C-alpha cells in the first residue's frame, strides 16, 4: 500500500527532481513544484524527497513551514488569500472577505469542512493600484467587487478549474502615468550590453570592464532597494573578492507593502533589467545570475522564462552573452513562496540556497560571501535597469536628472487616496507636494513613503524631497486623506511586521507580537497611558537589539504616527492608569466558538451590566 | 570592510583592556579573559548563532551581539551598564512570556540557564503579558522527555545533533511567533527518531526541554550549581 503510494509520488516528483538536478540547493523550487500536484506537500512526498535529496525530514519540514505559500497539510483545493495591505482595506477588502466567507459558508483562517477552500489574508500582493486584490492558488486576482466576489464564490462551489475562470479576473495592468528614461521608449534587447562592450572595444578586455564600472561610479548610481548603497562600490567589492565563482542576483522580491513598480518594470522592461544584469556580470566576472521573483508574481514566470529563452536564441544570454569571446552569462529565475524577510539580501541568499529565509550574521557581507559562500552582487530590479540606462546614455545624461547625492530618476508606486494611482518615474529631488499633484491627491493628511519600514510624513513636510539625502524610498508612496485614521494605518503595518518576522531573534520574534497586541489593545478601546509607555519601550528594544532591518524598522510606523498624529493615539487612552492585558471575556472566545453561542449570557460584560 | 580583524590585538570592555586572538569574537575573548557576558544561545563548542541577543553589547556606541561580532583592535565595548542590562532583562522576560515556564515545578530549576540569567539580571517579574502557547509534552521516547513548553529556540540541540551527532534529530520549523522545535520523524514524536541519551544534543539544552527520564531530582533543588552561586560567577560555561 505504502510502496504503491510512494510510486505514485515518484511519478510526478521525478521530473521535478530531474529539472533541479536533485540538488538540495534547489529545495525551495522543488517544494513549490511538488506542491502543485495536490495543493499541499503530501507526507509521502516528503519521505520520497528525503530519500532522493538525501536530507533529513526536519530540513524539508523546516523549509516548507517557513514560507506562507507552502503547506504540509491539506489546505483546500482553492487557497484564497486576500491582500492585507492598508490600501486593500481602504478599498473595502475587509467586507469582501467576509462576503466570500459567507458565500462559501466558512471562516477566515481555516479550511472548509469539505476540504474545498481556505480563505485568509496575506501580506501586500503588489496590486495596490488595481485592488482590492487576492491570490487564488497563488494567482493574482485584481479589482475585486462584491459582484466579482459572488461570482468567484459560485465558481469555487462549482469546482471550476482556474483555467475556466474569466480571464479578466487575472488581468494585471501596468498603469504608468509618468515616464522617464527607464519607462520611456525601450531600447533594443542587448543594446546596453553592446554599448558597454563597445566602450571598451579599443582597449583590452580587463580595461573594458573597468570602463563599465567607472561609468556606473561616475554616474553616482545608488541602490534602488531603499538603503542607497553605492552600486559601483558593491560591484567593485564583489569583483575584487577572492572566489572561484561570482554571482549576480536581481532582487525581485518586491515585498514592501505599497510597492509594485518592480512588477511593472519586469513586465514592461525586462530586457533593460537583463541588460543591466549582464553588464554587472561582465564587470564582476560572473557567469551565473539569478532573479529572485516573489511568489506573488508567480503569474509572470512563464512570460519571463520565454523572454530569457528569446535572449538565449538571440545570443544575448549563454555563451558570449552578446559580448566578446570568453564571456558567458546565463540567468535563472527562482520563485519565492511568501516571505517578506527574503527581500533582505542575506535572507534572500539563504532562500536562494533552498533554506529557511533567515538573515545571516554580517559581516561577512554578500559581496564577499554570498550565494554558496561566493562573492555575490544583490541589486534591486530598478538598480539594474538604471545601470543599463547608464551604459546606453552615458554618465552626463544620467546625472542630468536628480540631485547631486541622488542622481537619476526613481520609480514610485503610488496608491491610496488619489485619483491616478500607478507607477510614476520622477527625478530625484521632486517634492512630496509635486508628487501629490501628479497623482491627483486632494485633502491629503499623510503620505507613507517607502512602505511601513519607511517614513510617514504629514502636511507640514510635503515640501521635502524624494532622495537619499532627504526622503529615501524603495518606491512605495501611499496617500491618506483626512478621512483616514492614522492609528489604524500604523496598526495595519505593525500587524504586517508581526506576521513577517522570521522568528530568528528574540526581540523581533517576541517584540513584534507584543507590539501588535498592544496596538490591538488600544484598538479595542482598552488602552491607558501605561500602554503608551510600553509601546515606546518596545520600540527602543526592537530598534537596538533586532538582528536585521525588519526588526529595526518594525516600530517606524508607530514612532512616526505618534509624533505626527498623537491625538489619534490619545483618543484611545481611556482615563485610567492601567488596564490589564488579560481580558477575561475575550479569553472565553474559544468556549463561545466551541459551543456556537454568542448571546448576551455568553459574555461576562453583559452579565455585569445585568447585575448592576 | 571586513578583513580588519586579521591579527589579534586589544579592545576595551567596560574600560578594561581585553586581548584577543585572530578570529575571536568579543564574547570569546571576554570569556577567555575571565569576564562574563550574559548569553543563552552561545556555547563554546558550537558555531555561534546570534539569535537570543542576550549577549548584546555596545560596540563604539552601537548595539550588536557579542557572540558573532569579531573583535577588532581598538574597539570600545560596553557590556555591564544599566542600559544594556535592562535590555537583556527585557529579552529574558520576552523568553519567559513566550513559552510556559513554571520554575517551581521544573526539574531543571537550579541548573537552568534561563532562570539563572534572569536571577542574575535582577528580573523580578515577567513584565509582559504571557502568550500561554499550547504546546504538548512528548513522552514517547523511553529514556527522554521532550517538553517544548520551555523551549527558548536557542537551537543548541539543533546544532549539536546536526554538527556533532550527525543525526539532525532536532530542527526549528515554522516562522515568526510560530517558530517551534520539531524532531526528525514522520509522526513528529521523539520516540520515533534515532536519538539516544548519549547524544550531545540531549545534554546541551540550557533549559528544561530535553530531560532524561528516571534521574530527576537526583540532586535536590536548592543545592544545584546556580542555587549555590550566580551564573555570572561560574564564568557562564555550564
Q: pLDDT tens digits for B181-223?
A: 999 999 999 999 999 999 999 999 999 999 999 988 888 999 9
Asked if B145 and B177 sit in the same domain, the reply is: yes
Residue of chain A nearest B178, judged by CA positions: A503
Strands (E), chain B: 9-13, 16-20, 56-59, 62-65, 76-78, 144-146, 170-173, 180-183, 210-212
- Chain B touched by A230 (CB under 8 Å): no
Asked if B38 and B155 sit in the same domain, the reply is: no
Of A66, A511, A541, Cβ closest to residue B175: A66
**Buried b or exposed e, range A53-68, using 16+ CB within 10 angstroms:** bebbbbbbbbbbbbbb
Give domain status of residue B234, yes or no: no
What is the Cα–Cα distance from B71 to B29, expressed in whole angstroms? 8
Query: What pLDDT was estimated at residue A476?
Result: 97
The 10 Å Cβ neighbour count of residue B3 is 9
Asked if B160 and B181 sit in the same domain, the reply is: yes
Contacts with A, B 78-107, CB within 8 Å: 87, 90-91, 94-95, 97-98
- Chain B touched by A509 (CB under 8 Å): yes
Give domain status of residue B231, yes or no: no
What is the Cα–Cα distance from B70 to B211, expressed in whole angstroms? 34
Say if the Cβ atoms of A510 and B53 lie within 8 Å: no
Say if the Cβ atoms of A512 and B176 lie within 8 Å: yes
What is the Cα–Cα distance from A191 to A284, expressed in whole angstroms? 19
> Tell me, what CATH number does B132's domain have?
3.30.70.20
Domain boundaries defined on chain A: 2-64, 78-173, 178-399, 411-484, 497-570, 583-612
- Chain B touched by A9 (CB under 8 Å): no
What is the Cα–Cα distance from A33 to A131, expressed in whole angstroms? 28
Nearest to A355 by CA among A16, A17, A11, A25: A25
What is the Cα–Cα distance from A434 to A446, expressed in whole angstroms? 14
Asked if B118 and B60 sit in the same domain, the reply is: no
Give domain status of residue B226, yes or no: no
- How many domains is chain B partitioned into structurally? 2
Give domain status of residue B238, yes or no: no
Residue of chain A nearest B58, judged by CA positions: A544
What is the Cα–Cα distance from A126 to A133, expressed in whole angstroms? 9
**Residue-wise pLDDT tens digits, A32-53:** 999 999 999 999 999 999 999 9
Percentage of chain A beyond pLDDT 90 is 82
Q: Which of A346, A497, A510 to mutate to test the interface with B (most CBs of B within 10 A)?
A: A510
Contacts with B, A 310-349, CB within 8 Å: 339
- Chain B touched by A511 (CB under 8 Å): yes
Say if the Cβ atoms of B176 and A363 lie within 8 Å: no
Say if the Cβ atoms of A505 and B51 lie within 8 Å: yes
Asked if B109 and B209 sit in the same domain, the reply is: yes
Give me the interface pTM, i.e. the ipTM: 0.95
- Chain A touched by B138 (CB under 8 Å): no
Secondary element (H or E) of residue A64: helix A57-64
Grade residue A594 by pLDDT with cuts at 50, 70 and 90.
confident
Asked if B79 and B63 count as a contact pair (C-beta separation under 8 A), the reply is no
C-alpha cell at A398: 544620467
Indicate whether B238 pLDDT > 60: no
Burial of A440 (C-beta count, 10 Å sphere; 0-12/13-18/19+): middle
**Residue-wise pLDDT tens digits, A557-585:** 999 999 999 999 888 877 667 777 788 88
C-alpha cell at A420: 491616478
**Topology of domain A178-399, CATH:** Rossmann fold (3.40.50)
Nearest to B120 by CA among B61, B46, B40: B40
Grade residue A253 by pLDDT with cuts at 50, 70 and 90.
very high
C-alpha cell at A397: 545624461
Asked if B58 and B175 sit in the same domain, the reply is: no
Of B1, B53, B177, Cβ closest to residue A545: B53
Asked if A581 and A521 count as a contact pair (C-beta separation under 8 A), the reply is yes
Asked if B94 and B129 sit in the same domain, the reply is: yes
- Chain A touched by B132 (CB under 8 Å): no
Name A168's Cβ contacts closer than 8 Å, sequence gap at least 6.
Answer: none
Tell me the three-class secondary structure of A395-429, residue by residue. HHHHHCCECCCCECEEEEEEEECCCCCEEEEEECC
For the segment A585-612, the average pLDDT, to the nearest whole number, is: 75
Asked if A226 and A262 count as a contact pair (C-beta separation under 8 A), the reply is no
Indicate whether A611 pLDDT > 70: no
Q: Name chain B contacts of A44, Cβ cutoff 8 Å.
A: none
Say if the Cβ atoms of B171 and A510 lie within 8 Å: no
**Residue-wise pLDDT tens digits, A355-396:** 999 999 988 999 999 999 999 999 999 999 999 999 999 999
Residue of chain B nearest A42, judged by CA positions: B186
**Buried b or exposed e, range A360-389, using 16+ CB within 10 angstroms:** bbbebbbbbbbbeebbbbbbbbbbbbbbbb
Grade residue B4 by pLDDT with cuts at 50, 70 and 90.
very low
- Check: CATH 1.20.1440.230 for A497-570? yes
Residue with cell 482595506: A89
What is the Cα–Cα distance from B92 to A428, expressed in whole angstroms? 45
Pairing of strands B9-13, A455-458: unpaired
Asked if B123 and B159 sit in the same domain, the reply is: yes
Say if the Cβ atoms of B169 and A502 lie within 8 Å: no
Average pLDDT, chain A: 93
Say if the Cβ atoms of B182 and A512 lie within 8 Å: no
Strands (E), B21-163: 56-59, 62-65, 76-78, 144-146
Asked if B11 and B75 count as a contact pair (C-beta separation under 8 A), the reply is yes
Asked if B180 and B142 sit in the same domain, the reply is: yes
Tell me the three-class secondary structure of A287-327, residue by residue. CEEEEEECHHHHHHHHHHHHHHHHHHHCCCCEECCCCCCCC
- Chain B touched by A5 (CB under 8 Å): no
Say if the Cβ atoms of A500 and B176 lie within 8 Å: yes
**Residue-wise pLDDT tens digits, A523-540:** 988 888 888 889 989 999
Say if the Cβ atoms of B98 and A509 lie within 8 Å: yes
Nearest to B141 by CA among B163, B109, B173, B170: B170
What is the Cα–Cα distance from B158 to B204, expressed in whole angstroms? 10
Q: Name chain A contacts of B90, Cβ cutoff 8 Å.
A: 537, 541
| CATH architecture under which domain A78-173 falls | 3-Layer(aba) Sandwich (3.40)
Contacts with B, A 130-159, CB within 8 Å: none
Asked if B139 and B149 count as a contact pair (C-beta separation under 8 A), the reply is no
C-alpha cell at A211: 570602463
Alpha-carbon distances, residue A345 vs A226, A260, A312, A549, B96 (angstroms): 12, 19, 27, 11, 31
Residue of chain A nearest B184, judged by CA positions: A58
Give domain status of residue B128, yes or no: yes
Asked if B24 and B72 sit in the same domain, the reply is: yes
- Chain A touched by B184 (CB under 8 Å): yes
Asked if B37 and B98 sit in the same domain, the reply is: no
Q: Which of B176, B182, B184, B194 to mutate to test the interface with A (most CBs of A within 10 A)?
A: B176
Give domain status of residue B30, yes or no: yes
- d(CA A573, nearest CA chain B) in Å: 18
* Adjacent-strand bridge partners of A412: A424
Query: What pLDDT was estimated at residue A323?
Result: 67
Count helices and strands in chain A by DSSP H and E runs: 26, 16
**Residue-wise pLDDT tens digits, B158-175:** 999 999 999 999 999 999
- Chain A touched by B1 (CB under 8 Å): yes
Q: Name chain B contacts of A524, Cβ cutoff 8 Å.
A: none
Of A499, A506, A581, Cβ closest to residue B53: A506
Asked if A341 and A502 count as a contact pair (C-beta separation under 8 A), the reply is yes
Q: Which of B25, B47, B50, B53 to mutate to test the interface with A (most CBs of A within 10 A)?
A: B53
Percentages helix, strand, coil for chain A, rounded to the nearest 5? Answer: 50, 15, 35
> How crowded is the C-beta side of A308, counted as CA atoms within 13 Å?
18
What is the Cα–Cα distance from A464 to A472, expressed in whole angstroms? 11
Cα A150–chain centre separation: 29
- Chain A touched by B140 (CB under 8 Å): no
Q: Which of B177, B178, B193, B201 to mutate to test the interface with A (most CBs of A within 10 A)?
A: B177
Q: Could you give the residue ranges of the DSSP H alpha helices within A353-394?
A: 381-393
Say if the Cβ atoms of B98 and A541 lie within 8 Å: no
Query: What pLDDT was estimated at residue A572?
Result: 84
Q: Which of A48, A358, A503, A582 to mutate to test the interface with B (most CBs of B within 10 A)?
A: A503
Pairing of strands A78-83, A117-122: parallel
Say if the Cβ atoms of B87 and A541 lie within 8 Å: yes
**Residue-wise pLDDT tens digits, A207-230:** 778 888 999 999 999 999 988 999
- Chain A touched by B177 (CB under 8 Å): yes
Q: Name chain A contacts of B65, Cβ cutoff 8 Å.
A: 361, 547
Query: What pLDDT was estimated at residue A570?
Result: 87
Q: For residue B41, what are the domain limits?
A: 9-80
Give domain status of residue B122, yes or no: yes
Q: Name chain B contacts of A552, Cβ cutoff 8 Å.
A: none
Contacts with B, A 361-400, CB within 8 Å: 361, 363-365, 368
Say if the Cβ atoms of A61 and B173 lie within 8 Å: yes
Contacts with A, B 16-75, CB within 8 Å: 48, 50-54, 56, 63, 65, 68, 70
Query: What pLDDT was estimated at residue B6?
Result: 55
What is the Cα–Cα distance from A493 to A89, expressed in whole angstroms? 12
C-alpha cell at A249: 542576483
Average pLDDT, chain B: 93
Asked if B92 and B201 sit in the same domain, the reply is: yes
Give domain status of residue B4, yes or no: no
Percentages helix, strand, coil for chain B, rounded to the nearest 5? Answer: 25, 15, 60
- Chain A touched by B190 (CB under 8 Å): no
Output the CA torsion sign for A437, A441, A446, A447: negative
What is the Cα–Cα distance from A291 to A294, expressed in whole angstroms? 9
Cis check: omega of the bond before A443, within 30 degrees of 0 = no
Output the CA torsion sign for B87, B88, B91, B97: negative
What is the Cα–Cα distance from B173 to A72, expressed in whole angstroms? 12
- Domain A411-484 sits in CATH at 3.10.20.600
**Residue-wise pLDDT tens digits, A260-270:** 999 999 999 99
Q: Name chain A contacts of B128, Cβ cutoff 8 Å.
A: 510, 514
Query: What pLDDT was estimated at residue A1?
Result: 44
> Tell me, what CATH number does B50's domain have?
3.10.20.740
Alpha-carbon distances, residue A274 vs A317, A411, A416 (angstroms): 9, 18, 31
Sheet holding A444-449, edge to edge: A176-178, A422-427, A409-416, A476-481, A444-449, A455-458
Say if the Cβ atoms of A62 and B91 lie within 8 Å: no
What is the Cα–Cα distance from A311 to A323, expressed in whole angstroms? 13
Amino acid at each position: 500500500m505504502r510502496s504503491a503510494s510512494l510510486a505514485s509520488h515518484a511519478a510526478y516528483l521525478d521530473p521535478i527532481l530531474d529539472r533541479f538536478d536533485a540538488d538540495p540547493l534547489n529545495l525551495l523550487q522543488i517544494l513549490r513544484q511538488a506542491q502543485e500536484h495536490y495543493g499541499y506537500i503530501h507526507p509521502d512526498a516528503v519521505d520520497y524527497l528525503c530519500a532522493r535529496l538525501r536530507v533529513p525530514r526536519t530540513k524539508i519540514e523546516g523549509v516548507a513551514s517557513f514560507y506562507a505559500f507552502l503547506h504540509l497539510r491539506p489546505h483546500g483545493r482553492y487557497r484564497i488569500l486576500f491582500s492585507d495591505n492598508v490600501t486593500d482595506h481602504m478599498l473595502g477588502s475587509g467586507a469582501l472577505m467576509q462576503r466570500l466567507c459567507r458565500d462559501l459558508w466558512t471562516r477566515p483562517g481555516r479550511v472548509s469542512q469539505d476540504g474545498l477552500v481556505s480563505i485568509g489574508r496575506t501580506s501586500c500582493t503588489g496590486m495596490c493600484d488595481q485592488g482590492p486584490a487576492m491570490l487564488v492558488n497563488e494567482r493574482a486576482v485584481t479589482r475585486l467587487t462584491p459582484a466579482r466576489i459572488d461570482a468567484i464564490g459560485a465558481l469555487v462551489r462549482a469546482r471550476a478549474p482556474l483555467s475556466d475562470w474569466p480571464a479578466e479576473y487575472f488581468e494585471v495592468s501596468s498603469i504608468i502615468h509618468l515616464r522617464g528614461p527607464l519607462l520611456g521608449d525601450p531600447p533594443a534587447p542587448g543594446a546596453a550590453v553592446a554599448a558597454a562592450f563597445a566602450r571598451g572595444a579599443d582597449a583590452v578586455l580587463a580595461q573594458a570592464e573597468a570602463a563599465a564600472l567607472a561609468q556606473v561610479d561616475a554616474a553616482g548610481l545608488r541602490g534602488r532597494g531603499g538603503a542607497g548603497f553605492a552600486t559601483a562600490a558593491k560591484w567593485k567589492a564583489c569583483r575584487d573578492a577572492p572566489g572561484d565563482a561570482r554571482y549576480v542576483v536581481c532582487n525581485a522580491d518586491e515585498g514592501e507593502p505599497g510597492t509594485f513598480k518592480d512588477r511593472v518594470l519586469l513586465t514592461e522592461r525586462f530586457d533593460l533589467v537583463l541588460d543591466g544584469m549582464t553588464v554587472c556580470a561582465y564587470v564582476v566576472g560572473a557567469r551565473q545570475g539569478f532573479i529572485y521573483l516573489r511568489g506573488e508574481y508567480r503569474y509572470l514566470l512563464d512570460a519571463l522564462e520565454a523572454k530569457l529563452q528569446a535572449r538565449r536564441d538571440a545570443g544575448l544570454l549563454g555563451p558570449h552573452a552578446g559580448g566578446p569571446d570568453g564571456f558567458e552569462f546565463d540567468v535563472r529565475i527562482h520563485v519565492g513562496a511568501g516571505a517578506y524577510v527574503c527581500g533582505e539580501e542575506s535572507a534572500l541568499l539563504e532562500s536562494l540556497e533552498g533554506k529557511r529565509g533567515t538573515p545571516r550574521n554580517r559581516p561577512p557581507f554578500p559581496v564577499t560571501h554570498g550565494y554558496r559562500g561566493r562573492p555575490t552582487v544583490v541589486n534591486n530590479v530598478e538598480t539594474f535597469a538604471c545601470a543599463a540606462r547608464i551604459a546606453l546614455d552615458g554618465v552626463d545624461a544620467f546625472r542630468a536628472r536628480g540631485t547631486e547625492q541622488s542622481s537619476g530618476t526613481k520609480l514610485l508606486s503610488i496608491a491610496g487616496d488619489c485619483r491616478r494611482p500607478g507607477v510614476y518615474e520622477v527625478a530625484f529631488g521632486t517634492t512630496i507636494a509635486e508628487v501629490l499633484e501628479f497623482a491627483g491627491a486632494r485633502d491629503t493628511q499623510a503620505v507613507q513613503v517607502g512602505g511601513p519600514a519607511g517614513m510617514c510624513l504629514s502636511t507640514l513636510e510635503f515640501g521635502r524631497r524624494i532622495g537619499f539625502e532627504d526622503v529615501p524610498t524603495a518606491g512605495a508612496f501611499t496617500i491618506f486623506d483626512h478621512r483616514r485614521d492614522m492609528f489604524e494605518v500604523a496598526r495595519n503595518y505593525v500587524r504586517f511586521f508581526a506576521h513577517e518576522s522570521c522568528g530568528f531573534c528574540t526581540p523581533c520574534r517576541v517584540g513584534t507580537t507584543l507590539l501588535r497586541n498592544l496596538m490591538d489593545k488600544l484598538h479595542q478601546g482598552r488602552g491607558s497611558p501605561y500602554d503608551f509607555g510600553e509601546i515606546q519601550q518596545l520600540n527602543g528594544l526592537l530598534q537596538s537589539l533586532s538582528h536585521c532591518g525588519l526588526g529595526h524598522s518594525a516600530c517606524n510606523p508607530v514612532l512616526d504616527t505618534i509624533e505626527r498624529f498623537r491625538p489619534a493615539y490619545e483618543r484611545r487612552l481611556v482615563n485610567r492608569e492601567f488596564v490589564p492585558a488579560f481580558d477575561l471575556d475575550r479569553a472565553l472566545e474559544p468556549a463561545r466558538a466551541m459551543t456556537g453561542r454568542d448571546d448576551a449570557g455568553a459574555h461576562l460584560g453583559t452579565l455585569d451590566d445585568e447585575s448592576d | 570592510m571586513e578583513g580588519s580583524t586579521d591579527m589579534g590585538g586589544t579592545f576595551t570592555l567596560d574600560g578594561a583592556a581585553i586581548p584577543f586572538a585572530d578570529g575571536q569574537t568579543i564574547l570569546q575573548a571576554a570569556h577567555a579573559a575571565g569576564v562574563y557576558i550574559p548569553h543563552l544561545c552561545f556555547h563554546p563548542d558550537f558555531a555561534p548563532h546570534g539569535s537570543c541577543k542576550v549577549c548584546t553589547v555596545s560596540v563604539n556606541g552601537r548595539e550588536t551581539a557579542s557572540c558573532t561580532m569579531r573583535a577588532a583592535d581598538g574597539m570600545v565595548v560596553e557590556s555591564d551598564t544599566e542600559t544594556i542590562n535592562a535590555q537583556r532583562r527585557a529579552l529574558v522576560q520576552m523568553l519567559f512570556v513566550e513559552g510556559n515556564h513554571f520554575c517551581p515545578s521544573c526539574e531543571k530549576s537550579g541548573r537552568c540557564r534561563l532562570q539563572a540569567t534572569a536571577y542574575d539580571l535582577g528580573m523580578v517579574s515577567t513584565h509582559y503579558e504571557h502568550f500561554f502557547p499550547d504546546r504538548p509534552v512528548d513522552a514517547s521516547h523511553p529514556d527522554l522527555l521532550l517538553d517544548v513548553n520551555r523551549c527558548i529556540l536557542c537551537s543548541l540541540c539543533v546544532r549539536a545533533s546536526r554538527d556533532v551527532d550527525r543525526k539532525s534529530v532536532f530542527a526549528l520549523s515554522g516562522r515568526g511567533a510560530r517558530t517551534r522545535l520539531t524532531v526528525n520523524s514522520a509522526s513528529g514524536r521523539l520516540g520515533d527518531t534515532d536519538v539516544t541519551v548519549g547524544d550531545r544534543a540531549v545534554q546541551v539544552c540550557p533549559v528544561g526541554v530535553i530531560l532524561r527520564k528516571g534521574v530527576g531530582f537526583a540532586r535536590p533543588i536548592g543545592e544545584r550549581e546556580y542555587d549555590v552561586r550566580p551564573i555570572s560567577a561560574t564564568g557562564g560555561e555550564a
